[in-house]
Amino acid sequence: MGYNVAVDGPAGAGKSTIAKLVAKEKNYIYVDTGAMYRAMAIHFLQKGISPEATEEIAHACQDANVTIDYEDGVQQVYLNGENVTSRLRTEEVGNMASKTSQIPAVREKLLELQRGLAREKDVIMDGRDIGTCILPEADVKIYLTASVETRATRRFEELKEKGVPCDYEEIARDIKERDTRDTNRETAPLRKADDAYLVDSSDMTIEEVVKTICGYCK
Ligand code: DC
């Protein structure tokens, strides 16, 4: 069994930024599970299935094969053999992932892939249910959060920097909607594991958060 660090928290809390830096510092492999749900979302979008068509989605899981590889330490996600990494981070894919990740068949499909990675390697894995469902025996669990305002501002600045037209109110609304969906769903809802450290990054720098989390880890 590898050394396992689980990082959960809401959208936009900075999980991937922080987990990547901790991975570098501690020599762990960073596993982004949201990217796996996003790859499944691409599969459903390609098939033109509505996220509400639960049975069709469950059926479509059968011919989706998501695999992970690493190129220069950067996670690459393959959907049926095709590298879809560059297509994962659009709003369309994110929204589809948020909706379809509620469906048990989608979660079951990815569970073994995630557990298998943690068995073999020292990992820091981020997602929504890593500490509660996927790796309940993780060596360290972190629940990383930040206020809606902070998360929306970060996202707004990030998009502005990339030259993507965006609206702060719309981003904040989207974040709130995603929080509601992720925390209220029946299957594997987002919640802090009882034995997770709570880290609220609203008033912390990236360096401070990384230092705090590294302090909890081997
Ligand atoms: O972290 P992210 O934004 O890339 O995740 C995309 C969606 O996938 C998110 O809305 C919730 C879902 N997700 C999940 O249900 N469980 C995980 N372990 C990771 C992501």
Domain over 33-121 is classified CATH 2.60.40.10 = no
In this prediction, residue 1 has a pLDDT band, given cuts at 50, 70 and 90, of confident
- Distance of CA 51 from the midpoint of ligand 1 (Å): 15
Q: What is the pLDDT of residue 162?
A: 87
Running DSSP on this structure, what letter comes out for residue 196?
A: P
CATH topology of domain 1-28+122-218: Rossmann fold (3.40.50)
C-alpha count within 13 angstroms, C-beta hemisphere, residue 122: 10
| Residue 52, CA atoms < 13 Å, CB-side half-sphere | 0
Residue 62: per-residue pLDDT: 96
What is the predicted pLDDT for the residue at 25? 97
pLDDT above 90 covers a percentage of the chain that reads 92
Output the residue whose Cα is nearest ligand 1's atom 12: 98
Structure confidence at residue 91 as a pLDDT band (50, 70, 90):
confident
Q: What is the mean pLDDT of residues 117-123?
A: 95
Q: Is 124 in the pocket of ligand 1 (CB under 6 A)?
A: no
* Averaged pLDDT score across all residues of the chain: 95
pLDDT average, residue stretch 187-209: 96
Query: pLDDT band at residue 205, thresholds of 50, 70 and 90?
Result: very high
Q: What is the pLDDT of residue 86?
A: 96
- CA-nearest residue for atom 17, ligand 1, is 127
Domain 1-28+122-218 identical in fold to domain 33-121:
yes
How far lies 134's CA from each of 61, 127, 139, 188, in Å? 19, 10, 13, 9
Q: Is the CB of 126 under 6 A from ligand 1?
A: no
User: Which amino acid, 132?
Assistant: T
pLDDT of residue 93: 96
**Domain residue limits, the chain:** 1-28+122-218, 33-121
Q: Is 178 in the pocket of ligand 1 (CB under 6 A)?
A: yes
What is the mean pLDDT of the segment spanning 145-166? 93
Residue pair 182/11 in contact by the 8 Å Cβ criterion:
yes
- Tell whether ligand 1 has an atom less than 6 A from the beta carbon of residue 40: no
Question: What average pLDDT does this structure show over 70-78?
Answer: 94
Q: Residue 60 pLDDT more than 90?
A: yes
User: What integer pLDDT is reported at residue 41 of this predicted model?
Assistant: 98
pLDDT of residue 158: 87
Average pLDDT of span 27-48: 97
Residue 135 pLDDT greater than 90, yes or no? yes
Q: Which of 19-23, 48-52, 90-94 has the lowest mean pLDDT?
A: 90-94
CB of 98 within 6 A of ligand 1: the answer is yes
**Ligand 1 center to 157 CA (angstroms):** 21
